[in-house]
Amino acid sequence: MRKSLMRITLRQLQVFNEVCDLRSYSRAAQEMSLTQPAVSLQIRQLEDVVGQPLFEYVGKKLYLTEAAEALQRASRDIFGRLESFDMQLADMQGALQGQLKLAVESSAKYFVPHLFAAFKRQYPEVNLNLTVANRAQVIRRLSDNRDDLIIMSMVPRTWAWTSCRS
């Protein structure tokens, strides 16, 4: 392995994954509560370490380069392994802990906090990361596999039909 790759930080990979998922530096910054220049700096530093551009613009649309696609696969594997390690540690401690990523359709935002409050009382070591979004955004998050749990008022017709046929 090239020594330069050892300089990649987990934070850079988090920012990179968010840009990949959202195809936007600005939306990634907003989602991560960062400034757009901070996101740009993290990506620029990552590109310096990788030695290749990760994104290219065609018009106003952001595309992943071949290097970015390879890095995205590697980073998802890294984070998946860290999550698995975290679960193993929790099992060793005999407690349910970790992070649970939830996306809720805005129509469900009134009853969901009551459910989560009860869950949090029972499992205080679980960090809940809640995103409230409109239907289209929740469907996009579901397609991108960004959350552990999605709560929506109605399953999209195309997915309901597909799951019934399988």
What's the CATH code of the domain at 135? Answer: 3.40.190.10
Q: What is the mean pLDDT of residues 127-146?
A: 83
| In a domain? residue 114 | yes
Distance CA 74, CA 99 (A): 21
Q: What is the pLDDT of residue 104?
A: 87
Helix 36-50 × helix 66-93 angle, to 10°: 100
**Residue span of the structural domain in which 40 resides:** 3-73
Q: Which pLDDT does position 114 carry in this prediction?
A: 80
Span 24-58, pLDDT tens digits: 999 999 989 999 999 999 999 999 999 999 999 89
Residue 21 lies in a domain: yes
Please indicate, yes or no, whether residues 65 and 123 belong to a single structural domain of this protein.
Answer: no
The mean predicted confidence, pLDDT, of the chain is 85
Per-residue pLDDT tens digits for 82-113 = 988 887 887 777 767 677 888 888 887 777 87
- Please report whether residue 87 resides in a domain: no
Residue 164 has a pLDDT of 46
The reported pTM is: 0.63
154 and 102, same structural domain? yes
Tell me, yes or no, whether 86 lies in a domain: no
Answer yes or no: is 147 within a domain: yes
Q: What does the alpha-carbon distance between residue 162 and residue 15 come to, in Å, rounded to a whole number?
A: 33
Task: List 55's β-bridge partners, or say none.
Answer: 64
Tally of domains within the chain: 2
Q: Choose the final residue of a domain: 42, 73, 104.
A: 73
